[in-house]
Amino acid sequence: MASVAQAIRMALHYGETNLGVKDIFGQDVGAPLGGVFTATQGLKTAWNSPLDERGIIGMAMGIAMGGDKCVAEIQFADYIFNTIDLLKIAGNTLWCTNGQVQLPMVVMTPVGAGIFGSVYHSHSFDAWASRLPGWKIVMPSNPLDAYGLMLAAIKDPNPVLYLKSKALMRHKGDELIPGEPADEKELKAMIDKPVQNAEGWKPRWPDLEEYIVPIGKGKITHAGEHITVVTYSRMVHLCDEVALKLAGEGISVEVIDLRSIYPYDWQMIKSSIEKTGRVLFVNEDTEVTNFGEHLAYRATQELFYQLMARPRVLAGKNLPGIGLHPNLEKNSVPQLNDIETAIREVVAEVP
């Protein structure tokens, strides 16, 4: 099975071969490195930009305005913050021009904790991103979704932020990407640059097929009856693990992988809450102010009389950063036991 990094690489290859992508660029995106997580290795249109996040976003906006499709990368979301006003402009360009100027561009950036990346390699960006009207925002949790959401992002006529979990880059799923060889060693031999003697190396791409995960559509990763847990990205796997454990105790947890932050799949959330009467929102961005709070607010507003317990948000602590030592990181973002405890508390609550 492909890793998330390999899935993104294959999606970008499909994009430059079939969907008109002409530039994939950013810091260290081109040869020789092919991205710090290897997600852009071997791509024919990948090139290295100066170490300048604002230059990267501005250039991407210009390329999109000029009529070409590009995928730009900010090496870590931790460094995207000095581009906020450019992201704001990219998001408002269609609106400000009354529909005249579209910016079909993709910006991808690794987000979140889980790799012991310390203060400046552990930032989340989902709540910030959700305050950028005009952008669509996706956060895949597995390789197949990573592939399908990237193709959807490339095809979308709006600017799309593609937030990829740093901790999931080596994560392998249990579903094959259409066209991917079943043997992961074979895939590695085809598309991973050799560590040694890589001079002259070129990838042999599998015969990939188009596979789209529609932006705005979530997925139920674990069906259940007693509580709805709405999450995305890395936290999906933690929530699924807790759901499996609690199933043995008769606590039936429904886990929704939102996959898209904006637009988000409210109908899926709503249907599930109407079924379970209880809801927990889980993500690792800081708790003040958190995207889960918006969802909890909406759940309260629209489903108040169907709720059996107070909606709850479990998120990262509101701290200036995430410390390097595992004791610090693990006490900053939700862990398995935090999720389990929160689920038990919500399920135990009686009106």
C-beta closer to another protein: residue 65 or 190:
65
Q: What's phi and psi for 174, nearest 5 deg?
A: -120, 15
Listed residue (107, 87, 208) closest to 150, CA to CA: 107
Which two three-digit tokens encode residue 32? 């020789």
272 in Cβ contact with 224 (< 8 Å): no
Sheet holding 219-222, edge to edge: 219-222, 253-257, 227-231, 279-286, 312-316
Q: How far is the CB of 265 from another protein (least distance, A)?
A: 8
Out of 19, 65, 119, 190, name the contact with another protein by CB under 8 A.
Answer: 65
Check residue 75 for interaction with another protein (CB under 8 A).
no
Residues 93-132 that bind another protein (CB under 8 A): 93-102
Helices 4-18 + 184-191 axis angle, to 10 = 50
String marking each residue 289-328 x if it binds another protein according to CB under 8 A: ---------x------------------------------
Out of 170, 225, 267, 318, name the contact with another protein by CB under 8 A.
Answer: 267
Among 13, 121, 171, 226, which one carries the catalytic annotation? 121
Out of 223, 263, 274, 306, name the contact with another protein by CB under 8 A.
Answer: 263
Sole window of 66-74, 221-229, 277-285, 334-342 interacting with another protein (rule: CB under 8 A): 66-74
316 in Cβ contact with 333 (< 8 Å): yes
Q: How far is the CB of 173 from another protein (least distance, A)?
A: 27
121 an active-site residue?
yes
Burial 290-327 (b: 16+ CB within 10 A, else e): bbbbbbbeebeeebeeebbbebbbbbbeeeeebbeeee
C-beta closer to another protein: residue 206 or 216:
216
Residues 130-149 that bind another protein (CB under 8 A): 133-134, 136
Q: How far is CA 18 from the centre of its chain?
A: 23
Out of 20, 32, 81, 85, name the contact with another protein by CB under 8 A.
Answer: 85
- Amino acid 218 reads G
Size of the site for another protein (CB under 8 A): 45
The Cα–Cα gap between 7 and 211 comes to: 12
34 in Cβ contact with 173 (< 8 Å): no
Positions that interact with another protein (CB under 8 A): 22-23, 49-50, 52, 54-55, 57-68, 85-86, 89, 93-102, 133-134, 136, 157-158, 216, 262-267, 298
Which active-site residues does the annotation give?
121
